[in-house]
């Protein structure tokens, strides 16, 4: 079998196992957290019998393994279940399916992640390559110091600074990114500009530094020295000789950061009032809305697994030794 | 020459080593590649070495070292250097910058300069311990997995790490801290364990390239113990990427603590830590138009973190440059 | 960051009005206040301008919100329900309780039977006309065995509810309650169209001044003016949008950058800077919102009267108001009744910071320099951790050693509050003394967070609360409530150091009547209905 195909299949299989274990871990840790959805939503107002009735309605009175098995059965048939919330009084069940809750928010999250990726990945590569090209120059040091400064600021701090400069003082972008499903594409781009920029500043340093390090790491290799001795221009050495061999570590870091864009943007969502999945998951954890927590976790874990798979494929494709094994 | 190996042609370094050195002598010396290279250096005293290193260091590295020294100094002698106590409350909250309170006071009337200095002790201390722990756990397991490449231990560890990494770490940390209680010790352990997954990946990946090297195989064939191989053969050769990662991870710990304090589970008050100090006062930035010194308040702890990040990474860059063998 | 427990806590609030209601227990009482209201409405109607798109930023809202009124638990949903639906009674901007969908009412002498006549000719947004069946369905929505409604216990005393005419409903209560109409103005009890004996809440259809265009839980609510609104001089904006802005900095940025016209819950620490923005006006109102530090008298060492007294004396209230509220509030006197309540006991001496006396009491209890834990989290109120640190600081001067523990925000209300011996907490307060005491201080209340249930003082207190509930003589009632406050202040476990103001920031284009309701933020959460653009 072709190594790429083999890796893909192997990884997808492992990914399913990973998803299963992740769901098990999250399910049981929420179980260990004090309080459940009945208590969280009904509040201290509720009489014990009301909570008991509500638990029964939600199926929370069943033992843990049975509830997990039910969830798993649903999941295997493509049904993520219904959110606990929205089950009203007097037995009326108006709860929304997890898919319906998750869908539009996931679209928003992916849009923001894509925006940030489109800005940050080329920028990081450009900065990394040029920094490697002019290493130890003033340019290199400045780029390094600047990017390090931006990642060492907490996200909300970067966000507030950007709002001050680009929203309060100059009125270029709005400070609220409250997009809806009907928002048009360019309008959406405009509204999400500040959150995307914040995320860019937060992740660009990591990718840029790895690009630079990976290239410099190769600069001492004999074949690069050879090229240098031949008198090949420096830029060409880096682009044609060093970069192709440096892809593997760079892509790994890019994948890691892209996963972060999808998974770890809760703080940015809160500051810009952006309706994404992160907020949904934090809300769901605090109310112990297990089906929603599990739904979000599955999406996050799948994103992570797929992005890593993607990084591995790139590593294999760019490395002839792996592409054509003996 | 060992008699149980009739093969005359030396096929690997182990054979070569056997030819060159007496086995017994080798065992006594505890031979390693690093030690052999270091033999020339060892003739100089430690002080000379440091001096030579510093003289050749680029200005950025010197700057970084200087900043780190100052931070460590402040962290060690915080109680002596801070003008007031860490939690000492004065009558005036939000006092302006003055001779009495150099950077003013915070919302409770605590001296901001004093809290910045104590913050060095708490934040840098906790971040350092956490990162170190993450590297001991992640690095140790990563190398072990690499030595066991493909074996059951490697598979078990790698898959467990995959699982842990697939769970959003901030939310997982939040759940764990709610479960075990949000004290500093738990904070250190939980962040260290979640962070160690990242270290594990890197340590394993770079070690994989090293364990297949001939000199490692040689050491193993000599019958060296696993731990010895790990410490003397593998570790020195995977240090550069690990150190680079250390520089960034160290700074990410500050940010994780800041984000967790955003969710209400950071370091216990009134302990001063820079991340929480930024969080507490960040809202003031939006009023830069009306009160510029107030808006500067969150800048101070943020700048303290940023300066340290830049300094640490400048030193790391220097180390990487030295170990890359590039002579420029 | 969203904090559901915070919202959960808000569910317990039902503060509606500060005014004395007992005067109007009979139908006769209606005339004066209702006339005043009509008058104010007429005056205001002359000035307001119609039109505009009003945007409002709220520091509440959660992805778990739903339009089902029995689940409402935060300010976002309160404002939602007040914009698209009406209630039987409402609290006016002047603070008076007036009939809304009710037209008039009559109570029996012992305040157990209430006959409520309903307004005629009112239509729901879907064209259905409003009548007695809608009221019965709306109230029944919260009653019954399997009800999970937050106001179930409030409606427990209702033994019977009968339709006594197409536009008349008669309520029978198990025991007299002079404050019953207050309960009917609770935001959980909007009148929604009845369908097969149940209310049809899914559609978001009511009789209110605005129609729901789009509701996105935890994000926003879009509204359009109801052209057939029955109430005169209300609902001036053409369109309105309510946006959930949980982060206080984001909220303040939004109003400063004119992306919304008004926000609630400004940070008291920076409000002086916010006020410097030339486009913004700061609106403050003092209400019944109070911050507390309940000590559970059933747990050691708080079972000792001297420990409680020592701690009450060791709190520097002035400093707390100055540093936690930055002056945007008032000091409390260790009982939950605010000056806004009808029977506030103003004659009782104010407890002041007195380290010497505190030292005396702590010595007497033999607890000098022994560690006392105080659990806190900013989930309790903004600045709760800081407040605990200030208490630690001031108590240290009296030889009391307080250990401040910051608990996780997540789960604070289920794991810490009402469980740990001493913690920080907030109460939105209640419009009437009876409601406040019944909610958190009587022996049978589950939310009795001080666990002050037994002992001669507590017994006396419980007797008084029951007696005062159906007492129609104002003077006697006043006396009873004054004694209640005294008992809580002296023997109770409640440490109530401060009452906080509601602080809102409003764009200067927006106009409202001189007096705004103080029962909630944002003109009693009715700014969408009451305010207009200049």
Taking an 8 Å cut-off on Cβ atoms, the answer to whether C273 and B284 are in contact is yes
The pLDDT, as a whole number, for residue A238 is: 83
Mark whether C356 and C477 lie in a shared domain.
yes
Q: What share of chain C is helix, strand, coil (3-state, %, to 5)?
A: 30, 20, 45
Please state, for a pLDDT cut of 90, what percent of chain C lies above it: 50
Domain contains C335: yes
The pLDDT, as a whole number, for residue B228 is: 84
Mean pLDDT of C278-297: 90
Mark whether C484 and C516 lie in a shared domain.
no
Report the distance separating Cα B194 and Cα B137, nearest Å.
Answer: 10
Residue C24 reports pLDDT greater than 60 = no
The pLDDT, as a whole number, for residue A64 is: 81
DSSP β-bridge partners for residue C86: C191
pLDDT band at A42 (very low <50, low <70, confident <90, very high): low
Pairing of strands C168-173, C194-195: unpaired
Q: What are phi and psi of A156, to 5 degrees?
A: -65, -30
Taking an 8 Å cut-off on Cβ atoms, the answer to whether C216 and A286 are in contact is no
- The C-alpha of C253 sits at a distance from chain B's nearest C-alpha, in angstroms, of 7
Nearest CB neighbour to A44, from listed C218, C243, C418: C418
The pLDDT, as a whole number, for residue B23 is: 41
The pLDDT, as a whole number, for residue B238 is: 81
Q: What is the DSSP string of C311-342?
A: HHHT--HHHHHHHTSTTSEEE--SSS--TTST
Mark whether C466 and C342 lie in a shared domain.
yes
Name the residue among B69, B84, B89, B67 with its Cα closest to residue B118: B84
The pLDDT, as a whole number, for residue C52 is: 92
C483, two tokens: 């004694």
Mutation target among A153, A207, A276, A322 for the B interface, most CBs of B within 10 A? A153
Mark whether C278 and C411 lie in a shared domain.
no
Residues 120-179 of A with CB under 8 A from B: 135-136, 141, 144-145, 148-149, 151-157, 160-161, 163-164, 168-169
Nearest CB neighbour to B171, from listed A19, A219, A281: A281
- pLDDT tens digit string along C50-74? 999 999 999 888 777 888 888 887 8
Taking an 8 Å cut-off on Cβ atoms, the answer to whether B268 and C406 are in contact is yes
Residues 267-326 of A with CB under 8 A from C: 270-273, 275, 279-280, 282-287, 289
Count of residues making up chain C: 534
HSE-CB for A316 with a 13 A CA cutoff: 17
The pLDDT, as a whole number, for residue A324 is: 67
Name the residue among A303, A286, A279 with its Cα closest to residue A101: A279
- The C-alpha of C406 sits at a distance from chain B's nearest C-alpha, in angstroms, of 6
pLDDT band at A93 (very low <50, low <70, confident <90, very high): low
- The C-alpha of A71 sits at a distance from chain B's nearest C-alpha, in angstroms, of 18
Residue C250 contacts residue C58 (beta carbons within 8 Å)? no
pLDDT band at A40 (very low <50, low <70, confident <90, very high): low
pLDDT band at C48 (very low <50, low <70, confident <90, very high): confident
Taking an 8 Å cut-off on Cβ atoms, the answer to whether B291 and C322 are in contact is no
Report the distance separating Cα C255 and Cα C240, nearest Å.
Answer: 15
Nearest CB neighbour to C249, from listed B108, B182, B283: B283
- pLDDT tens digit string along C500-525? 998 999 999 999 988 888 788 888 89
The pLDDT, as a whole number, for residue A94 is: 57
Nearest-Cα residue of chain C relative to residue A50: C148
Please state, for a pLDDT cut of 70, what percent of chain B lies above it: 84
The pLDDT, as a whole number, for residue C64 is: 75
List chain B domain ranges: 1-43, 60-324
Report the distance separating Cα A214 and Cα A235, nearest Å.
Answer: 15
B70, two tokens: 């100052």
Taking an 8 Å cut-off on Cβ atoms, the answer to whether A90 and C144 are in contact is yes
- The C-alpha of A189 sits at a distance from chain B's nearest C-alpha, in angstroms, of 24
- pLDDT tens digit string along C98-145? 999 999 999 888 889 999 999 999 999 999 999 999 999 999 988 877
Domain contains C383: yes
Taking an 8 Å cut-off on Cβ atoms, the answer to whether A266 and B314 are in contact is no
Query: Three-state DSSP class for C53?
Result: strand
Report the distance separating Cα B63 and Cα B311, nearest Å.
Answer: 7
Taking an 8 Å cut-off on Cβ atoms, the answer to whether A213 and B286 are in contact is no
Nearest CB neighbour to A157, from listed B171, B278, B308: B278
Taking an 8 Å cut-off on Cβ atoms, the answer to whether B263 and C377 are in contact is no
Mean pLDDT of C224-240: 93
Mark whether C437 and C341 lie in a shared domain.
yes
Taking an 8 Å cut-off on Cβ atoms, the answer to whether C259 and A174 are in contact is yes
Mark whether C279 and C294 lie in a shared domain.
no
Touching A (3+ Cβ pairs <8 A), the chains are: B, C
The pLDDT, as a whole number, for residue A263 is: 77
Residue C38 reports pLDDT greater than 50 = no
Count other Cβ atoms within 10 Å, centred on residue C445: 15
Mark whether C125 and C177 lie in a shared domain.
yes
Domain contains C262: yes
A178, two tokens: 């409250």
- pLDDT tens digit string along B256-274? 877 777 666 777 778 888 8
Mutation target among B56, B61, B167 for the A interface, most CBs of A within 10 A? B167
Report the distance separating Cα C332 and Cα C494, nearest Å.
Answer: 11
Mark whether C476 and C365 lie in a shared domain.
yes
Touching C (3+ Cβ pairs <8 A), the chains are: A, B
Pairing of strands C158-165, C168-173: antiparallel
Q: Which residue is listed with tokens 């990474």?
A: B313
Residue C448 reports pLDDT greater than 90 = no
The pLDDT, as a whole number, for residue C16 is: 29
pLDDT band at B26 (very low <50, low <70, confident <90, very high): very low
The pLDDT, as a whole number, for residue B36 is: 58
Residue A142 contacts residue A130 (beta carbons within 8 Å)? no
Q: What is the distance of C-alpha C428 from the center of its chain?
A: 4
Mean pLDDT of C147-172: 87
- Which residues does chain C have within 8 Å of residue A53's beta carbon, measured at their own beta carbons? 145-146, 148
Residue A276 contacts residue A105 (beta carbons within 8 Å)? yes
The arrangement of strands across the sheet holding C102-107 comes to: C102-107, C113-118, C168-173, C158-165
Q: Is A182 on the interface with C (CB under 8 A)?
A: no
Number of domains in chain C: 4
The pLDDT, as a whole number, for residue C331 is: 93
Mutation target among B123, B154, B160, B168 for the A interface, most CBs of A within 10 A? B168
Nearest-Cα residue of chain C relative to residue B107: C323
Taking an 8 Å cut-off on Cβ atoms, the answer to whether C253 and B286 are in contact is yes
- Which residues does chain C have within 8 Å of residue B283's beta carbon, measured at their own beta carbons? 248-249, 252, 267, 269-270
Mark whether C513 and C455 lie in a shared domain.
no
- pLDDT tens digit string along C165-201? 999 999 999 988 888 888 899 898 999 999 888 888 8
Q: Mean pLDDT in chain B?
A: 78
The pLDDT, as a whole number, for residue C155 is: 87
DSSP β-bridge partners for residue C506: C262, C281
Nearest CB neighbour to A163, from listed B175, B262, B286: B286
Residue B61 reports pLDDT greater than 70 = yes
The pLDDT, as a whole number, for residue B266 is: 73
CA–CA distances in Å: residue C309 to residues B22, C295, C313, C534: 83, 11, 6, 53
Q: Mean pLDDT in chain C?
A: 85
Q: Is A46 on the interface with C (CB under 8 A)?
A: yes
Nearest CB neighbour to A22, from listed B166, B251, B298: B166
Mean pLDDT of C343-369: 92
Nearest-Cα residue of chain B relative to residue C377: B264
Taking an 8 Å cut-off on Cβ atoms, the answer to whether C257 and A167 are in contact is yes
Tell me which of A84-93, A218-227, C154-163, C456-465 is least confident. Answer: A84-93
Domain contains C277: yes
Residue B30 reports pLDDT greater than 60 = no
Superfamily name and number for B60-324: MetI-like (1.10.3720.10)
Residue C193 contacts residue C128 (beta carbons within 8 Å)? yes
Taking an 8 Å cut-off on Cβ atoms, the answer to whether A283 and C63 are in contact is yes
Please say whether the dihedral angle defined by the alpha carbons of residues C299, C300, C304 and C308, taken in this order, is positive or negative: negative
Tell me which of B4-13, C215-224, C378-387, C423-432 is least confident. Answer: B4-13
Mark whether C37 and C23 lie in a shared domain.
yes
- Which residues does chain C have within 8 Å of residue B284's beta carbon, measured at their own beta carbons? 270, 273
- The C-alpha of B136 sits at a distance from chain A's nearest C-alpha, in angstroms, of 22
Report the distance separating Cα C382 and Cα C380, nearest Å.
Answer: 7
- The C-alpha of A242 sits at a distance from chain C's nearest C-alpha, in angstroms, of 45
pLDDT band at C374 (very low <50, low <70, confident <90, very high): very high
Mark whether C279 and C357 lie in a shared domain.
no
Nearest CB neighbour to B178, from listed C256, C378, C411: C411
- Which residues does chain A have within 8 Å of residue B212's beta carbon, measured at their own beta carbons? none
pLDDT band at C297 (very low <50, low <70, confident <90, very high): very high
Residue B254 reports pLDDT greater than 90 = no
Taking an 8 Å cut-off on Cβ atoms, the answer to whether B178 and C248 are in contact is no
The pLDDT, as a whole number, for residue B28 is: 46
- Which residues does chain A have within 8 Å of residue B283's beta carbon, measured at their own beta carbons? 160
The interface predicted TM-score of the complex, written ipTM, equals 0.78
pLDDT band at C6 (very low <50, low <70, confident <90, very high): very low
The pLDDT, as a whole number, for residue C361 is: 95
For chain A, which domains are there?
Answer: 3-76 (no CATH), 106-323 (1.10.3720.10)
Report the distance separating Cα A149 and Cα C326, nearest Å.
Answer: 34
Identify the CATH number of the domain in which residue C312 sits. Answer: 3.10.105.10
Mark whether C110 and C146 lie in a shared domain.
yes
Domain with C512, as residue range(s), is 208-285+502-533
Pairing of strands C239-244, C220-225: antiparallel
- The C-alpha of B283 sits at a distance from chain C's nearest C-alpha, in angstroms, of 5
Name the residue among A121, A132, A107, A300 with its Cα closest to residue A200: A121
The pLDDT, as a whole number, for residue C20 is: 32
Report the distance separating Cα C135 and Cα C85, nearest Å.
Answer: 12
Q: Is A170 on the interface with C (CB under 8 A)?
A: no
Report the distance separating Cα B140 and Cα B200, nearest Å.
Answer: 8
Domain contains C62: no
Nearest CB neighbour to A89, from listed C70, C153, C446: C70
Touching B (3+ Cβ pairs <8 A), the chains are: A, C
Taking an 8 Å cut-off on Cβ atoms, the answer to whether C68 and A88 are in contact is yes
Residue C411 contacts residue C374 (beta carbons within 8 Å)? no
């Amino acid at each position: 079998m072709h190594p790429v195909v083999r890796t893909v299949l192997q990884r997808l299989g492992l990914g399913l196992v990973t998803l299963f274990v992740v769901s098990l871990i999250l399910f049981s840790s929420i179980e260990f957290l004090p309080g459940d959805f009945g208590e969280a939503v009904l509040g201290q107002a509720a009489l014990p019998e009301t909570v008991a009735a509500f638990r029964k309605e939600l199926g929370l009175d069943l033992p843990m393994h049975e509830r997990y098995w039910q969830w798993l059965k649903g999941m295997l048939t493509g049904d993520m279940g219904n959110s606990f919330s929205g089950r009203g009084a007097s037995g009326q069940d108006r709860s929304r399916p997890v898919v319906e809750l998750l869908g539009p928010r996931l679209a928003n999250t992916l849009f923001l992640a894509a925006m940030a990726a489109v800005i940050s990945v080329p920028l990081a590569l450009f900065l990394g390559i040029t920094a490697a090209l002019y290493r130890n120059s003033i340019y290199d040091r400045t780029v390094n110091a600047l990017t390090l400064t931006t990642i060492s600021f907490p996200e909300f701090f970067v966000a507030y600074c950007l709002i001050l400069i680009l929203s309060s003082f100059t009125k270029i972008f709005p400070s609220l990114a409250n997009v809806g499903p009907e928002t048009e594409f360019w309008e959406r781009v405009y509204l999400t500009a500040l959150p995307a920029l914040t995320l860019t500043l937060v992740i660009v340093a990591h990718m840029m530094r790895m690009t630079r390090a990976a290239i410099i790491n190769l600069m001492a290799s004999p074949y690069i020295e050879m090229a240098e001795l031949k008198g090949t221009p420096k830029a060409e050495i880096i682009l044609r000789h060093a970069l192709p061999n440096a892809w593997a570590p760079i892509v790994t870091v890019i994948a890691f950061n892209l996963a972060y864009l999808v998974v770890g943007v809760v703080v940015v969502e809160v500051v810009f009032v952006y309706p994404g999945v992160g907020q949904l998951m934090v809300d769901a954890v605090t109310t112990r809305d297990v089906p929603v927590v599990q739904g979000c976790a599955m999406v996050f874990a799948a994103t992570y697994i797929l992005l890593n798979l993607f990084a591995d494929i790139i590593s294999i494709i760019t490395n002839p030794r792996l592409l054509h094994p003996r | 020459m060992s008699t149980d190996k009739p093969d005359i042609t030396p096929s690997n370094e182990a054979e070569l080593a056997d030819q060159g050195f007496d086995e017994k002598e080798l065992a006594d010396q505890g031979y390693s590649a690093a030690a052999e290279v270091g033999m020339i250096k060892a003739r100089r005293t430690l002080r000379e070495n440091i001096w030579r290193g510093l003289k050749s260091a680029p200005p950025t590295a010197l700057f970084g070292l200087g900043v780190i020294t100052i931070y460590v100094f402040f962290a060690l002698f915080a109680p002596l250097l801070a003008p007031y106590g860490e939690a000492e409350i004065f009558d005036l909250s939000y006092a302006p910058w003055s001779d009495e309170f150099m950077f003013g006071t915070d919302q409770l009337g605590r001296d901001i300069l004093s809290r910045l200095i104590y913050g060095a002790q708490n934040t840098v201390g906790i971040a350092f311990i956490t990162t170190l722990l993450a590297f001991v756990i992640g690095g140790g397991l990563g190398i072990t997995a690499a030595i066991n490449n493909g074996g059951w231990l490697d598979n078990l560890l790698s898959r467990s790490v995959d699982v842990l990494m697939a769970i959003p770490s901030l939310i997982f940390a939040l759940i764990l801290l709610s479960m075990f209680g949000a004290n500093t010790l738990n904070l250190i352990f939980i962040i260290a364990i979640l962070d160690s997954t990242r270290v594990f990946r890197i340590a394993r990946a770079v070690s994989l390239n090293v364990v297949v090297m001939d000199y490692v195989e040689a050491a193993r064939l000599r019958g060296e113990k696993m731990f010895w191989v790990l410490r003397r053969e593998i570790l020195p050769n995977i240090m550069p990427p690990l150190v680079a990662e250390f520089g960034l991870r160290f700074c990410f710990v500050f940010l994780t603590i800041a984000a967790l304090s955003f969710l209400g589970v950071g370091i216990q008050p009134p302990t001063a830590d820079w991340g929480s100090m930024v969080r507490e006062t960040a809202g003031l930035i939006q009023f830069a138009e009306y009160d510029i010194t107030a808006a500067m308040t969150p800048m101070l702890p943020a700048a303290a973190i940023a300066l340290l990040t830049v300094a640490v990474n400048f030193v790391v860059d220097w180390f990487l440059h030295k170990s890359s063998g590039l002579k420029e | 960051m969203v904090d559901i427990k915070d919202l959960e806590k808000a569910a317990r609030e039902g503060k509606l009005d500060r005014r004395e209601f007992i005067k109007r227990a009979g139908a006769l009482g209606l005339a004066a206040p209702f006339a005043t209201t009509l008058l104010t409405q007429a005056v205001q109607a002359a000035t307001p301008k119609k039109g505009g798109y009003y945007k409002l930023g709220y520091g509440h809202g959660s992805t778990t919100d739903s339009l089902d009124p029995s689940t409402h638990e935060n300010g976002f949903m309160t404002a939602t329900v007040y914009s698209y639906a009406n209630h039987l009674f409402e609290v006016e901007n002047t603070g008076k309780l007036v009939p809304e969908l009710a037209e008039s009412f009559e109570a029996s002498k012992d305040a157990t039977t209430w006959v409520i006549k309903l307004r005629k000719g009112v239509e729901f947004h879907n064209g259905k006309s409003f009548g007695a069946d809608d009221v019965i369905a709306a109230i029944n929505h919260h009653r019954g065995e399997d009800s999970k409604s937050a106001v179930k216990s409030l409606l427990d005393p209702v033994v019977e509810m009968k339709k006594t005419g197409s536009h008349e409903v008669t309520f029978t209560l198990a025991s007299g309650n002079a404050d019953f109409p207050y309960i009917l103005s609770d935001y959980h009890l909007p009148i929604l169209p009845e369908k097969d004996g149940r209310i049809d809440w899914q559609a978001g259809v009511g009789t209110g001044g605005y129609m729901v265009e789009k509701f996105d839980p935890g994000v926003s609510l879009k509204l359009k003016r109801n052209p057939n609104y029955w109430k005169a001089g209300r609902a001036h904006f053409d369109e309105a949008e309510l946006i959930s802005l949980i982060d206080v900095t984001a909220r303040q940025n939004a109003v400063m950058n004119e992306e919304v016209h008004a926000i609630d819950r400004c940070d008291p620490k920076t409000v002086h800077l916010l006020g410097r923005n030339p486009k913004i006006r700061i609106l403050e109102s003092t209400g019944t919102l109070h911050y507390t530090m309940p000590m559970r008298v059933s747990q050691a060492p708080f079972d000792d009267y001297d420990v409680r007294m020592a701690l009450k004396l060791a709190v520097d209230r002035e400093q707390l108001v100055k540093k936690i509220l930055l002056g945007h509030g008032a000091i409390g006197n260790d009982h939950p009744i605010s000056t806004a309540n009808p029977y506030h006991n103003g004659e009782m001496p104010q407890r002041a910071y007195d380290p010497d006396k505190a030292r005396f009491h702590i010595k007497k209890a033999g607890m000098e320099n022994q560690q006392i834990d105080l659990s806190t989290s900013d989930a309790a109120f903004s600045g709760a951790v800081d407040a605990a640190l200030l208490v630690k600081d001031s108590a240290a001067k009296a030889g009391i050693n307080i250990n401040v523990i910051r608990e996780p925000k997540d789960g604070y209300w289920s794991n810490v509050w009402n469980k740990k011996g001493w913690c920080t907490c907030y109460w939105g307060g209640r419009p009437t003394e009876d409601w406040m005491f019944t909610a958190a201080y009587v022996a049978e209340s589950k939310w009795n967070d001080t666990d002050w249930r037994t002992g001669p003082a507590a017994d006396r207190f419980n007797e008084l609360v029951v007696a005062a509930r159906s007492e129609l003589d104002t003077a006697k009632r006043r006396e009873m409530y004054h004694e209640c406050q005294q008992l809580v202040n002296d023997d109770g476990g409640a440490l109530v150091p401060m009452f906080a103001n509601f602080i809102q920031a409003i764009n200067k284009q927006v106009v409202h009547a001189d007096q705004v309701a103080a029962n909630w933020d944002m003109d009693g959460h009715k700014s969408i209905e009451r305010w207009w653009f200049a």
